[in-house]
């Protein structure tokens, strides 16, 4: 064991450990995405009183893997007149950025690939780059429908990223750090210390009146940021056939879909980390303090993953029951409602931090 620890201290050991961490997160994420997609389809079917996937494997659990094989084996068709290099590069970029974002996400105590002090800025930068894959895919297809869909998506993502940014600033002001692991650690002690309740509902209860609406703004903005219903205007079948990816088939289409679903799960993880304590349990149980660090990490991961599943369920329910917005309603909500509301919230939280009783 000592020899192994000594090897990990060398540059080669550090590289091996880092690659292992990256592979562990990527494999867990990709396998989870298959079952999240299955859950999305089953929830939608349940709301509409249908059965959903129920044939491939027990209870249809292997349906997502059957779809994966189908997409991989289908013929790759590139339209005439398309920019072939950009056409292939676009889904690869979307997929890569979706996975790279998870490098800064703390899954449990000590379970993070890159524990950087500016993790919030890193995630915000990576998510901002995601729009390029969609624009490239729409433009390179050399068709009006995907191009219009990509323009819609770019305008939509840019509009709601502004609101998300201001909401995140309120959390940074409360926590006093941009390190995601430290943001989670500051919410320890029970659900009353979560940021959605102001970080400490006993002493900071006025902030709960601000942070609960900010959590709602973040959730709705996340729906728009990931092109989920009721904000799936870039993919509006009645107007644009299927949006920016209409000319794609086979593996490139699969990469777009995996990237989009990975971003949805990322937003669920961000809501969990920023507002609902990350891996922190609802109530601290004294006997868990005696557990080994490994057992405590698995216990924290259980809570983190459970919260992510809950928020994905909320995403799926919104998709199933809320009708699609018109595009003018979408932009009005982002610029005339969410932007001024989040700006006021930043000013209020900053004033509380400077002039409040615990400043």
**pLDDT per residue over 145-187, tens digit each?**
888 888 888 888 888 888 899 999 999 998 888 889 999 988 8
Tokens of 118: 């500016």
pLDDT for res 291: 82
Residue 108, beta-bridge partner list: 111
Collapsing DSSP to helix, strand or coil, 108 comes out as strand
pLDDT for res 345: 93
Q: Does 200 score more than 70 pLDDT? A: yes
The more confident residue out of 227 and 170 is 170
Same domain, 87 and 51: no
Q: Does 343 score more than 90 pLDDT? A: yes
Percent above pLDDT 90 for the chain: 21
Q: How does residue 218 score in pLDDT terms, banded at 50, 70 and 90?
A: very high
Q: How does residue 306 score in pLDDT terms, banded at 50, 70 and 90?
A: very high
pLDDT for res 167: 93
Instruction: Say if residue 230 is preceded by a cis peptide, omega within 30 of 0.
Output: yes
Q: Does 275 score more than 80 pLDDT? A: yes
Q: How far is CA 46 from CA 42, 264, 321, in A?
A: 6, 21, 11
Q: How far is CA 68 from CA 30, 255, 327, 329, in A?
A: 11, 10, 32, 36
Cβ-based burial of 265 (10 A; exposed 0-12, middle 13-18, buried ≥19): buried
> CA angle 319-323-326, nearest 5°?
120
Q: Does 217 score more than 70 pLDDT? A: yes
Q: Does 304 score more than 80 pLDDT? A: yes
Same domain, 62 and 196: no
User: Which of 35, 51, 73 is the last residue before a domain boundary?
Assistant: 73
Same domain, 59 and 98: no
pLDDT for res 77: 84
Same domain, 16 and 119: no
User: Which of 21, 38, 73 is the last residue before a domain boundary?
Assistant: 73
Lowest mean pLDDT among 182-191, 266-275, 286-295: 286-295
Q: How does residue 2 score in pLDDT terms, banded at 50, 70 and 90?
A: low
Q: Does 12 score more than 80 pLDDT? A: no
Q: Does 192 score more than 90 pLDDT? A: no
Same domain, 31 and 88: no
Going 57 to 63 to 68 to 73, the CA torsion angle's sign is positive
Q: Does 243 score more than 80 pLDDT? A: no
Same domain, 195 and 85: yes
Same domain, 13 and 127: no
Per residue in 21-60, pLDDT tens? 888 888 888 899 999 999 989 998 988 888 888 888 888 8
- Average pLDDT of span 112-125: 85
pLDDT for res 269: 93
- Average pLDDT of span 94-112: 88
pLDDT for res 140: 87
pLDDT for res 324: 82
Q: Does 1 score more than 60 pLDDT? A: no
User: Which of 73, 95, 130 is the last residue before a domain boundary?
Assistant: 73
Q: Within 13 Å and on the Cβ side, how many CA atoms surround 169?
A: 17
Same domain, 102 and 177: yes
The answer to whether 39 and 312 are in contact (CB under 8 A) is: yes
Q: Does 4 score more than 70 pLDDT? A: no
Q: Across all residues in the chain, what is the average pLDDT?
A: 85
Q: Does 330 score more than 90 pLDDT? A: no
How many C-beta neighbours within 10 Å does residue 15 have?
A: 10
Same domain, 154 and 272: yes
- Average pLDDT of span 232-257: 76
Same domain, 122 and 48: no
Q: How does residue 5 score in pLDDT terms, banded at 50, 70 and 90?
A: low
pLDDT for res 177: 87
Tokens of 73: 């084996």
Q: Does 202 score more than 80 pLDDT? A: no
Count of the separate structural domains present in the chain:
2
Cα gap 111→113, rounded to integer Å: 7
pLDDT for res 338: 92
For residue 36, what are the domain limits? Answer: 1-73
Same domain, 124 and 230: yes
Q: How does residue 270 score in pLDDT terms, banded at 50, 70 and 90?
A: very high
Same domain, 38 and 101: no
């Amino acid at each position: 064991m000592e020899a192994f620890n000594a090897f990990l201290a060398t540059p080669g050991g550090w590289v091996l450990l880092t690659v292992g961490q990256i592979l562990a997160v990527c494999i867990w994420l990709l396998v989870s995405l298959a079952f999240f997609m299955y859950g999305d389809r089953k929830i939608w079917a349940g709301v509409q009183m249908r059965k959903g996937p129920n044939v491939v494997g027990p209870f249809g659990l292997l349906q997502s893997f059957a779809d994966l094989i189908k997409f991989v084996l289908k013929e790759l068709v590139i339209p005439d007149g398309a920019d072939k290099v950009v056409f292939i590069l676009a889904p690869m970029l979307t997929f890569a950025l979706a996975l790279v974002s998870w490098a800064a996400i703390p899954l449990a105590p000590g379970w993070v690939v890159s524990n950087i002090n500016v993790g919030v800025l890193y995630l915000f930068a990576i998510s901002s780059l995601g729009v390029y894959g969609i624009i490239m895919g729409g433009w390179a297809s050399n068709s009006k429908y995907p191009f219009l869909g990509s323009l819609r998506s770019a305008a939509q993502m840019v509009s709601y990223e502004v609101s998300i940014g201001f909401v995140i600033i309120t959390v940074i002001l409360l926590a006093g750090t941009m390190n995601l692991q430290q943001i989670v650690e500051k919410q320890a002690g029970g659900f009353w210390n979560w940021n959605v309740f102001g970080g400490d509902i006993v002493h900071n209860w006025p902030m709960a009146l601000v942070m609960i609406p900010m959590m709602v703004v973040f959730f709705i903005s996340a729906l728009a940021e990931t092109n989920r219903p009721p904000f799936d205007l870039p993919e509006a079948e009645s107007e644009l056939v299927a949006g920016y990816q209409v000319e794609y088939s086979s593996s490139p289409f699969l990469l777009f879909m995996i990237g989009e679903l990975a971003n949805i799960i990322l937003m669920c993880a961000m809501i969990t980390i920023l507002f609902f304590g990350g891996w922190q349990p609802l109530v601290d149980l004294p006997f868990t303090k005696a557990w080994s660090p490994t057992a405590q990490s698995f216990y924290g991961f259980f809570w983190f993953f459970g919260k992510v599943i809950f928020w994905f369920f909320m995403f799926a329910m919104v998709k199933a029951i809320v009708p699609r917005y018109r595009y003018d309603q979408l932009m009005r909500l982002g610029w005339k409602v969410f932007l001024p509301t989040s700006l006021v919230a930043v000013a209020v939280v900053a004033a509380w931090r400077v002039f409040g009783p615990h400043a």
